[in-house]
Structure 1
Amino acid sequence: MAFFWAFLKKYIKYRNMAQTLGLELLPAGGPKRFTLAEIKAATKGFLDPIGRGGFGDVYKGELSDKRVVAVKCLKNVAGGDAEFWAEVTIIARMHHLNLVRLWGFCAEKGQRILVYEYVPNGSLDKFLFRSSRATDQSETGEAAAATDQKPMLDWGVRYRIALGVARAIAYLHEECLEWVLHCDIKPENILLGDDFCPKISDFGLAKLRKKEDMVSMSRIRGTRGYMAPEWVKTDQITPKADVYSFGMVLLEIVSGVRNFEMQGSRIESEDWYFPGWAFDKAFKEMKIHFKLVDRMVKTAMWCLQDRPELRPSMGKVAKMLEGTVEIMEPRKPTIFYLGDE
């Protein structure tokens, strides 16, 4: 009788837990639910941090089946276990070559953790931008610089990265059953596989943020330098905000410099605007003679138009990069959002 009573208590406890988390409806091939103990064992107590961002810190780990994973410990997550599980299920059902795969999650003791596939080459920014530390410091000479530098990407690889990212965002915007705004497209959220196949990370996470982290003048989703002008003007944000962010990243892929780092220009620093500078370089000084690069720059210029309705959809952006649609001559982007005037 004592054994039966203990068994019944445990059965009721786990049945209630399954009902709370919605695990009764766990789809075949869906994300696995990990215990906090399993996560700690996989990461050896969170000893190996490999990234840090607005949604939380990321640690490298290894599961019991020897799969290497990236474990993201989320912060400022809204809702209870049921809401969290519902959103995680949606994210896990998004399958695309250029999206990071979600393998599992943990919701235990107030923790909200996501377990992703590990992408070995890290983020795009490490390959695009030369480290200021390596170029500005000289105390340890060439050895320090060598460890801080990544190989430069050739034009073919840059183009494949840009096209893969465009296709993935188009999938999120136009092909998912529930369309998803990324809200934070930047080089740090574009990971590169062994063959430099790009994979977007952190998609779907914007919906998990607490209400106080929602759109407002003081708390704007995204990263400064990549946010569309309408974030400041209105709270009616559309997929065209992601289009703008992609345009900024596309210019960085072409130029290899940060959009907020002023390049050679006679304009005063407070008036300097990266897309405007790139437009002048590409179309006034006629610095570009390579058709592939010319197509990438023109596509970026259309993505960076100040009015959202002038920007193409991400599906069309992908076709522009592919060369399957004609690209009209773009007008020079401005930093000012003109609203409904």
Structure 2
Amino acid sequence: MAQTLGLELLPAGGPRRFTYAELKLATGDFSKAIGRGGFGDVYRGELPDKRVVAVKCLKNVAGGDAEFWAEVTIIARMHHLNLVRLWGFCAEKGQRILVYEYVPNGSLDRYLFPAVDGKKPMLDWGVRYRIALGVARSIAYLHEECLEWVLHCDIKPENILLGEDFCPKISDFGLAKLRKKEDMVSMSRIRGTRGYMAPEWIKSDPITPKADVYSFGMVLLEIVTGSRNFEMQGSLMDSEDWYFPRWAFEKVFKESKVEDILDRQVKHCYDKKVHFEMVDRMVKTAMWCLQDKPEMRPSMGKVAKMLEGTVEIIEPTKPTIFFLQE
């Protein structure tokens, strides 16, 4: 009966344990790659009940079967609308594989940054705002509401997947817990992705949830501008001391030209009467997230409230390039 209803896939008391042979069959011998990342490669698979899944083969993972199962069970019990659902795992023959729900619309970077041919699917302002708010709420859940709080350590558009109706879902959360301890040491100063890493990673300061807040601020600014934080259009970006958040801050708060930073692709849809307050909240919130001192940044719970408009946002301090200050 459970099999008929597909309930054996749901982590009620824990995630389902798949055999390597089952996943090999489901993925056509791991032939349908749909993504590659620092933690491993992802393949599209189809289970015998026709359910489509994303199968992630992990690299450099800690512990034996029992330890791996214990950590995976914690991840599988994290339930939030805006987190990718973990259904099961495989730990056999030295393999460490996770089985996730399949999220149909791919990752956010495909919608924000121009493809090779210059075309990208369009996201209107309302959808962008909903994506930002959903991501903020899910990180707040990881930081503040889970029984075991989790740092993501790699918030970026590639790790934000878009489901039906462009509902955002964060992937790769909790994977930092599965890394080998020696790997954690060797990675500790380079955890994350260039352009999204908080200053404390480089300065060897203690890492707290505020590191994720910084990364989210950078993503939030990219959602507004439609540009990579380290690949902006125009020649003034070539100087060594150019800094994306500072450029956006000066445009919005010094020159009062919010239109100058908006994604060109949806600029024509921007209606000041309708969208100003929403975009203004997104930019102000991003600026608070991007403060170089962690204690200046709000918690993710407060960030979500700032985006919702349920708390007042005072004018932010200009973000600085931390290493030029010292």
Write the letter of the residue equivalent to 1:71: V
CA contact (8 A) 1:69 1:118 kept: yes
Could you say if the C-alpha distance between residues 164 and 28 of structure 1 is closer, same or farther in structure 2, counting changes exceeding 3 Å? closer
Could you say if the C-alpha distance between residues 52 and 210 of structure 1 is closer, same or farther in structure 2, counting changes exceeding 3 Å? same
The equivalent of 2:183 in structure 1 is: 213
CA contact (8 A) 2:196 2:214 kept: yes
Write the letter of the residue equivalent to 1:315: G
Alpha-carbon distance, 1:213 to partner: 2.5
Could you say if the C-alpha distance between residues 97 and 293 of structure 1 is closer, same or farther in structure 2, counting changes exceeding 3 Å? same
Alpha-carbon distance, 1:327 to partner: 0.2
Alpha-carbon distance, 1:262 to partner: 3.2
| Correspondence 1:307 to 2:293 | yes
| Correspondence 1:232 to 2:216 | no
The equivalent of 1:190 in structure 2 is: 160
Write the letter of the residue equivalent to 1:309: E
The equivalent of 1:325 in structure 2 is: 311
Return the match for 2:284 from 290, 298, 321: 298
Write the letter of the residue equivalent to 1:211: K
Q: What's the secondary structure of 2:106's corresponding residue?
A: coil
- Distance in 1 between residues matched to 2:305 and 2:295, nearest whole Å: 18
Write the letter of the residue equivalent to 1:221: R
Alpha-carbon distance, 1:337 to partner: 6.0
Alpha-carbon distance, 1:28 to partner: 3.6
Q: What's the secondary structure of 2:98's corresponding residue?
A: strand
Could you say if the C-alpha distance between residues 27 and 258 of structure 1 is closer, same or farther in structure 2, counting changes exceeding 3 Å? closer
| Correspondence 1:153 to 2:123 | yes
The equivalent of 1:134 in structure 2 is: 117
The equivalent of 1:93 in structure 2 is: 77
- Distance in 1 between residues matched to 2:235 and 2:252, nearest whole Å: 14
TM-score by length of 2: 0.88
> What's the % identity of the aligned pairs?
86
Write the letter of the residue equivalent to 1:91: I
CA contact (8 A) 1:213 1:220 kept: no
Alpha-carbon distance, 1:287 to partner: 1.6
Write the letter of the residue equivalent to 1:212: E
CA contact (8 A) 1:183 1:221 kept: yes
| Correspondence 1:40 to 2:24 | yes
- Distance in 2 between residues matched to 1:78 and 1:217, nearest whole Å: 14
The equivalent of 2:93 in structure 1 is: 109
Write the letter of the residue equivalent to 1:203: F
- Distance in 2 between residues matched to 1:207 and 1:274, nearest whole Å: 31
Aligned residues: CA RMSD:
1.9
The equivalent of 1:6 in structure 2 is: none
Partner deviation per Cα, 1:65-109 (whole Å, 9 max, x = no partner)? 111000000001011111111110000000000000000000000
The equivalent of 1:70 in structure 2 is: 54
Q: What's the secondary structure of 1:73's corresponding residue?
A: strand
Equivalent pairs counted in the alignment come to 301
Write the letter of the residue equivalent to 1:151: P
The equivalent of 2:232 in structure 1 is: 262
Could you say if the C-alpha distance between residues 94 and 102 of structure 1 is closer, same or farther in structure 2, counting changes exceeding 3 Å? same
- Distance in 2 between residues matched to 1:239 and 1:171, nearest whole Å: 12
Unaligned ranges ≥5, structure 1: 1-25, 136-148
Write the letter of the residue equivalent to 1:82: A
- Distance in 1 between residues matched to 2:303 and 2:188, nearest whole Å: 31
- Distance in 1 between residues matched to 2:296 and 2:120, nearest whole Å: 36
Q: Rg: which structure is higher?
A: 1
Alpha-carbon distance, 1:217 to partner: 7.4
CA contact (8 A) 1:273 1:335 kept: yes
Q: What's the secondary structure of 1:301's corresponding residue?
A: helix
Q: What's the secondary structure of 2:45's corresponding residue?
A: strand
CA contact (8 A) 1:216 1:235 kept: no
Return the match for 1:167 from 137, 160, 165: 137
Could you say if the C-alpha distance between residues 56 and 270 of structure 1 is closer, same or farther in structure 2, counting changes exceeding 3 Å? same
Partner deviation per Cα, 1:192-227 (whole Å, 9 max, x = no partner)? 012000000000001111223225578521111000
CA contact (8 A) 1:104 1:114 kept: yes
- Distance in 2 between residues matched to 1:277 and 1:181, nearest whole Å: 29
- Distance in 1 between residues matched to 2:300 and 2:79, nearest whole Å: 17
- Distance in 2 between residues matched to 1:124 and 1:296, nearest whole Å: 17
Alpha-carbon distance, 1:335 to partner: 1.9
CA contact (8 A) 2:137 2:301 kept: yes
Q: What's the secondary structure of 1:79's corresponding residue?
A: coil
Write the letter of the residue equivalent to 1:78: A
Write the letter of the residue equivalent to 2:85: R
Unaligned ranges ≥5, structure 2: 1-9, 259-271
